[in-house]
Each structure stands twice: as structure tokens, then as C-alpha cells.
Structure 1
Amino acid sequence: MTIEQLYDAYLAHPIVTTDSRRTPQDSLFFALKGELFDGNQYAASALEQGCALAVVDDPAVVRDERYLLVEDVLTALQQLAALHRSRLGTPVIGITGTNGKTTTKELMAAVLSSTYHILYTEGNLNNHIGVPLTLLRLRPEHQIAIVEMGANKPGDIAELTAIARPDYGLITNIGRAHLQGFGSLEGVRRTKGELYDHVRAAGGALFLHTDDDTLVAMAEGMDYVSYGTSPAATVQGRLSPQQDSPYLSFDLMDGVSDTRVMTRLVGDYNLPNALAAVAAGRFFDVPDEAIVSALASYKPGNNRSQWMETERGNSLIVDAYNANPVSMRAALDNFDTIRTDKTPVLILGDMNELGAESAAEHAALLRRIREGRSNRVLLCGPCLMAMEQDFPEGAMGFADHVALAHYLEEHPIHDSLILLKGSHGIHLENIIPLC
């Protein structure tokens, strides 16, 4: 089957699924393969449960005309998404970066959706499968699309930009993450920079954080809308004076009358993310009143920059979706600035996928913990446990979240300010009910 024939089938059945357990009526099932499964084996089940057609790449499973045979299902999914994006011509904003890309995407979506009908990446569907699935949700009524792009090895962003073909690009920052795949910080920079490479070749424009010298150098010669704390930035903001609140607030500096923006995001490190959303809003002519309202109304989820008050009298900062050296230090720096009478407690997990740099980066984390104000520290994960002899005095270690949960059940924490942060693979979110 050609990609044009597949596109005709998609237009007739524009709801796409890759999970045979989730089969919307009259949808199009793509039989993807994984390390431990072969979607071809579930095609018949998907059809029985309501899918209209199944895209497969194993001739042996084809039984009738409802099976659409292609050479490779993943490639077909990606090519179909690229064709659909091209046919609709919707303006696309591509977002990548080491930290903050999901939060930036969510804030930008909140701002732009106040004025436009937009499509944006759901959750963390930002890889070689998630990006095509996002694009295949595009409809003619969408006026702007925001597509998040993740990467853990060289070439990932180039692959995703070839599918999404963004007109505008935004890199939040370049940091030490996924070093196991990238090999070095320079590998991270080159890969994230593939977004700029595409936008440059396409004659598009950037949303550029001009406080970041690395990004500024990478964007040389390109058109951009700038944001940051410098007076030279098109969108300039500064942190509001410290208040008795854990939430980010900042002032938009307009040269005449400044505008105070209140958010429900924990952490001053979210200022660039919020300013990026302001920059996009102003670029697309969203009124300032709508921008401020959207940022004030946005409530973070998915274990990112969340503030919770628990039944045990604890104030809990949940930032347990991801962790790397840059985001971990930012979270600890912010934690130490929060005014509270409660006992500060750190519950931290491993920073995964750091490769050869893992031991050095976890050692640096332990040194940073010693510099902080917390006198109760709980550390979780095999990387940290391997360095138990270097733990700060009084710190306790746990092999995994199960062992940590058992400890908290027997030694509950009360009336404390708790920072909960670690890589997603450590699953610290499972102990939230015990905090």
C-alpha cells in the first residue's frame, strides 16, 4: 500500500490507535513492534473490538481487506503524519530542551488557547511515536499546533523535525541529561540544535531565551522573538519581590507600567518557561490580559512543579517526573529559599541515564545536599546507594521506592516541607500518599 492510499484510509478513519486495549469505534490501528511485543499479533483483536482497519507489516496476519499491508508500520505512521501535516499547512511550533519543555509547552498552550483553536502534545508524547500521533490529531479547524520533541541520542530531533516540519522553534536550555545516549554535553547541544537547523533551513523564526549565551550563539543569523531578564529582550520579566508564597510570580517590564503575573508553579526556575509563553502569546497577538489570566489559571500536573498540602500537615513539592544535574540543583536552590516554619525534608532519587558521568554527578549532588538547610534526607535508588559511604551525616538510603515506602509507613513525616524529586524510573510518585 502506498502512503497516498494509506492517507485516503486515514481520512475515512481519522482516529488513530496503537494500543489494542484502546480501540475507539471505527478507528485505524497501527500494529507497532516493541522489544517485547509485536503489534501484528494483536491486529485481529483490535478489529474485533471496534477498529475499522489495521495497518500491519506481517503478511502472515492478513485475513481480509481490513488489513492494510505496509513495509514497516512505524515508518508508515511517521510518513502518514508528515503528509497530513503538509496537507493541512497548520503553523507548527516545535519545542525541545533539556529541562522545562513540557512545562513551557503547557504554559504556551494555555496562553494561545485563550484566543486560538490549538492542538498541542498530550502529556509526554514527544518521541518518534508520540510526535506522529500528535500530528495525526490535527484537524482543519486547528489554527496553531505546539509539538514537544524529546531526544536521548544524536539525530532524534532531526528525525522529529522531518516529520513535524516546525515553522517556529524554541529550545528551553542545554543541560547535562541523557549523557548515556548523547555521550557529552556537546552531543546534547548538537542534537537539540537540530531544531534550529530545521527552522533555519525552512526560513522560520525562533522564540529565544536571550539570558542563555549558548542558545544565543546557536541562533546567530536567525529571526527570533527574544525573552529573558535583560532589557534587550523583546519580552522582559523579573522575579517579583519575595513573598510568603511558594509560587512563582514575576513582573513583565514594559517600560511604562509593569504587569504583575501570579502563577501556581513552584520554583523561580520556571520564570523562563513562563516568559516563553508570554513571547508566543504576544507574537500571535494574544491580548496581555488574556496572557496574564491564562498563566494565573494554569495548574501544573503530572508530578511537575506541584505544591500539595497533605493530611499529615506537610507541604509537599512534587517534581518527580524527571531529574538531571541541572534540574536537581535548580530544585534544591529554590527549596532553600522557601520561607517556612516547617522542618525541611529532602526525598531525592537517582538521576538516570547519565552514563559515564553518573558517579561524578551523584557525588556533586551529595555535596550540594550538605550545603543546604535540610537536616532530614532520604535518598533512593541504586546510583545513590552505591555512594552510601559519602552520604551527608544522618542521611538514609533505600534501594528502591518500595523500601522507602516501608520506612515511611513505620516512620511517618509530619509538619514538614518536603521536596520530592528524582528520575521517573525511580517512581517516587508512588510514595506521595505516604507524605
Structure 2
Amino acid sequence: MNTDELYHLFLQYPSVETDTRKLKKGDIFFALKGPNFNGNHYLQQALDMGAAYCVADEATVIDSDRIIQVDDSLVALQQLAKKHRMQFQIPFIAITGSNGKTTTKELVSEVLSSSYKTSTTYGNLNNHIGVPLTILSIAKDAEMAVIEMGANHQKEIASYCEYTMPTHGLITNCGKAHLEGFGGEEGVKKGKGELFDYLRAHRGIAFIYNDYDYLHTLSAGIQQLVTYGEKTGDITGEVKADNGFLEVAVTKGAALPSIKTQLVGGYNLPNILAAVCIGKTFKVNDDKIKIALESYEPSNSRSQLLNKGTNKIILDAYNANPTSMKAAINNFSHMDGDKKVLILGGMMELGESSIAEHAEIVKLIESGQWYKVVLVGKDYLDLPSNIFHFSDAAGARDWFRNEGLENAQILVKGSRSMQMEKVIAW
């Protein structure tokens, strides 16, 4: 079956699923394959659960006219997404970067949703499966689409652009994330820059954070740029208060002298300014921008400020890399409090740089004043005696339970696989 025929079926059954555990009656089930799963093994289960059709790329003994054979189920899913994308003449805003892309995506979506019917990436479904699923979830009456793109190697963003076809794009930053896959920091810039390569070739519009010179280099040749930053740009802003929740002021481009967010950390200023910048570009009025940004509540262990007994906890444990870890530690060091506790997990996918990058974090920690320090993970080596060290989050959780901290300020951060949120989950 070709893409046009498959799209005809999709218009009758406009809901796609790749996981039988989430399948609903009337969904089209795509049998995808990975290192540890094969959706072709679940075709009968999908049919029994009420799937309208199953798209498979392996031979099956099941006799059903509801099974559609294709050469590659993943390619079929991506081609179907592109076909659906081509039905729209609305802005498609792609967001990528090493740090802050999910928060920025959420803030941008909140702002645009105040004035437009906006479709956006759910959670962080930002990979080769999540991006096409996001596109296929866009309703025909949508007025805006905001698509998050994650990547851990070169050519990945370029492949997403082929079926997302973004009209606008934003790179939050290029930091020390996924160094193993990208082959170093320059590889990160090249990989993230593939978004701007697409915009350059297709006369798209790029949103640029003016404070990062490398973004100007990556965006060279793009005819339409909209800028934001702390000192210069179409939109400028600054931190007004950062002791607890972050308050920012827009100093140019919008009448927003005070935005009291529910985010933690001055490192979120660029993310907020990006949302203001995009909102103003699409004529969202200042009052709606302010309400949207102040109403947004972070979740899923991203820049959350929690109270547990008498302790205040900054839970920023969704992910971590050397750039974001240093920013979080520095921000925490400047906050009020005399019983500051660091509970930090390891940083993944750093390749040969991992031991050295973890050593740099330890060096930064030793330059500050802390009540207690707990490090989790195998790449924290040769630690001073005053630092507690555990191999996993379970060990740190037992320490946390037994320590009986009171009136402390606690930062919890680490890569996703470390599951650092479990330390405080008791």
C-alpha cells in the first residue's frame, strides 16, 4: 500500500498508535521494531483490542484484511506524517537545543495557545517516532504547530525536517550534551544547526538568542531573523528576582515590566524571552503573554520547586549534561539559605569525556559552601571524604531518609537514566 492509500485510511481513522498498551479502539497500529521490541509480534493483540488497521513489515500467518503490509513500518509512519504535514498552510515552529528545549516548547505553546488553536509535542516525544506521531496528531483546524526535536547524533535533525517542513525554527543553545553521539561540541553545533540549514534552504524564519555568538554563525545566510537577548535584540529582558521562583522583566519589545513565573533558575531567562519573542512575532498581546507565562507550572521533574516537610527542594532531575549541571549548581549557590544540600546524579552519553566532565563538576562543587553533598553514579571518582557517594538513586534515597534533614535547601539533578526523583519519593 502506498502513502496516498494509507493516508485515505488515516482520514477515516485519524489516530495512530505504536504501543498496544496504549491502543484504543479505532486506532491504526504501526508495528515498529527496536533493539528490545518488535511490534509485528503484537498484531493479533492489536486486532483483538479493536485496531482499525495494523501496519506491519514482516510476514504473518494472521489472515486479516486489516493488516497492511509495507516495506518498513517506521518509514511508512514518517511518510504518512509528511503527507499530513503537507495539508497545512500554518506556521510550523521547530525547537531544538542541548538544554531547555522542552521548557521552551511548553512556554511557547502556552503563549500561542492564548490566541491560536495550537498543536504541540506531548511531553518530550521528540525523536524519530515521537515527531511523526506529533505531526499526525495535529487536527485539521489547527492554527499553529510547535514541534520539539531531540537528537543525539548528526543528520537526525535534518531527517526530522524532511517531514516536519518547519517554517520557523529556534535553537535554544548548543552545550555539552550527547557528546558521544555527536563527536564533541563542534559536532553538537553541526547537528543542531541542521534545523537552520533547512530554514536557510527553504526561506524560513529563525529565532536567535543574541547572547550566543555561535547562533549567529549557524544562522548566517537565513534572510529573516528575529532576535532576543539580555542586552540586544528585538526582545530584551533581565532577571528581576531569583530567590525561589523566577521573576523577569522585558526591557524592550513588550510592555512587560514583571513576569512572575513558577520556574526556578535564572538559566530559564532565555526560555522565557524566546516565548515572548515568538508571541510578539505572531501578534499575541502583552496581557495574554504575561498570563500564559505566569500560569505555566513545570512538571515531570523540570525546574520544580517543592516543599517536603520543612525542606525546600529544587527538583530538576529530568536530564543533565555538563552545561546544565554547572548552570544549576551556580544558580543554587546564589539563592538564599544556610543549609544547602546537593544531591547530584551522573551525566550520561559523554563518551571518552565522561570522567573528565564529572571531575569538573566535583571541582565546581569544592569551590562552594555546602551543608551536605551527595553524588550518585560510577563516573564520580576520587572524591574528598566529605562527599557522600552512592552507585544508584536507591542508595541516596536511603541516605536521605536516614539523614532527617530539616529546614534545608536541596538541589536534586541528574540524567534521566539515574532517576534521581526517586531519592525524594518516600
**Fold shared by both chains (TM-score > 0.5):** yes
The equivalent of 2:195 in structure 1 is 195
Alignment-mate amino acid for residue 249 of structure 2: D
Deviates further, 219-228 or 133-142 = 219-228
Alignment-mate amino acid for residue 56 of structure 1: A
The equivalent of 1:135 in structure 2 is 135
- What SS does the aligned partner of 1:88 have? coil
The equivalent of 1:105 in structure 2 is 105
1:356 aligns with 2:352: yes
Alpha-carbon separation, structure 1, partners of 2:322 and 2:91: 34
Q: Give the alignment of 1:19-418 within 5 angstroms.
A: 19-222=19-222, 223-230=224-231, 232-240=232-240, 242=241, 245-254=243-252, 259-311=257-309, 313-341=310-338, 343-384=339-380, 387=381, 389=382, 391-418=383-410
Alignment-mate amino acid for residue 198 of structure 2: H
Offset of residue 77 of structure 1: 0.3
- What SS does the aligned partner of 1:363 have? helix
Deviates further, 80-89 or 402-411 = 402-411
Alpha-carbon separation, structure 2, partners of 1:301 and 1:432: 15
Alignment-mate amino acid for residue 140 of structure 2: P
Offset of residue 409 of structure 1: 2.8
- What SS does the aligned partner of 1:259 have? coil
Alignment-mate amino acid for residue 368 of structure 1: L
Offset of residue 433 of structure 1: 2.1
- Indicate how the Cα distance of structure 1 residues 208 and 31 shifts in structure 2: closer, same or farther if over 3 A, else same: same
Alignment size in residue pairs: 425
- What SS does the aligned partner of 1:71 have? coil
Alignment-mate amino acid for residue 252 of structure 1: V
Deviates further, 141-150 or 58-67 = 58-67
Alignment-mate amino acid for residue 228 of structure 2: Y
Offset of residue 404 of structure 1: 1.7
- Indicate how the Cα distance of structure 1 residues 257 and 108 shifts in structure 2: closer, same or farther if over 3 A, else same: closer
- What SS does the aligned partner of 2:87 have? helix
- What SS does the aligned partner of 1:362 have? helix
What are the superposed Cα offsets for residues 200-257 of structure 1, whole Å, 9 maximum, x if unpaired? 1110101110111010121123211100012x300010111x46x4111111113896
Offset of residue 382 of structure 1: 1.4
- What SS does the aligned partner of 1:383 have? coil
What are the superposed Cα offsets for residues 92-137 of structure 1, whole Å, 9 maximum, x if unpaired? 0000000000000000001000000000001110000000000000
Alignment-mate amino acid for residue 320 of structure 1: A
2:400 and 2:424 in contact (8 A); partners too: no
Q: TM-score if structure 2 supplies the norm length? A: 0.97
Identity of aligned residues (%): 44
Alignment-mate amino acid for residue 353 of structure 2: E
The equivalent of 1:3 in structure 2 is 3
Alignment-mate amino acid for residue 78 of structure 1: Q
Offset of residue 383 of structure 1: 1.3
- Indicate how the Cα distance of structure 1 residues 256 and 310 shifts in structure 2: closer, same or farther if over 3 A, else same: closer
Offset of residue 340 of structure 1: 2.4
Offset of residue 430 of structure 1: 1.2
Offset of residue 393 of structure 1: 4.1
Offset of residue 83 of structure 1: 0.9
Alpha-carbon separation, structure 2, partners of 1:133 and 1:297: 27
Deviates further, 71-80 or 404-413 = 404-413
Alpha-carbon separation, structure 2, partners of 1:411 and 1:259: 43
What are the superposed Cα offsets for residues 144-163 of structure 1, whole Å, 9 maximum, x if unpaired? 00000000011110011111
The equivalent of 1:426 in structure 2 is 418
Alpha-carbon separation, structure 2, partners of 1:63 and 1:371: 68
- Indicate how the Cα distance of structure 1 residues 61 and 160 shifts in structure 2: closer, same or farther if over 3 A, else same: farther
What are the superposed Cα offsets for residues 271-323 of structure 1, whole Å, 9 maximum, x if unpaired? 00000000000000000010011111111111010000012x11000000110
Alignment-mate amino acid for residue 365 of structure 1: I
Alpha-carbon separation, structure 2, partners of 1:75 and 1:62: 23
The equivalent of 1:14 in structure 2 is 14
Offset of residue 43 of structure 1: 1.1
What are the superposed Cα offsets for residues 335-367 of structure 1, whole Å, 9 maximum, x if unpaired? 0111124x1000000010000110110010000
- What SS does the aligned partner of 2:46 have? helix
- What SS does the aligned partner of 2:275 have? helix
Alpha-carbon separation, structure 2, partners of 1:47 and 1:62: 10
Alpha-carbon separation, structure 2, partners of 1:181 and 1:373: 35
- What SS does the aligned partner of 1:197 have? helix
Q: TM-score if structure 1 supplies the norm length? A: 0.95
Offset of residue 403 of structure 1: 1.7
2:26 and 2:50 in contact (8 A); partners too: yes
Gaps of 5+ in 1: none
1:27 and 1:51 in contact (8 A); partners too: yes
Deviates further, 155-164 or 216-225 = 216-225
Alpha-carbon separation, structure 1, partners of 2:399 and 2:217: 49
What are the superposed Cα offsets for residues 369-411 of structure 1, whole Å, 9 maximum, x if unpaired? 0012213101101112xx0x2x244111001112222222333
Alpha-carbon separation, structure 2, partners of 1:246 and 1:392: 30
2:337 and 2:408 in contact (8 A); partners too: no
Gaps of 5+ in 2: none
Alpha-carbon separation, structure 2, partners of 1:251 and 1:37: 48
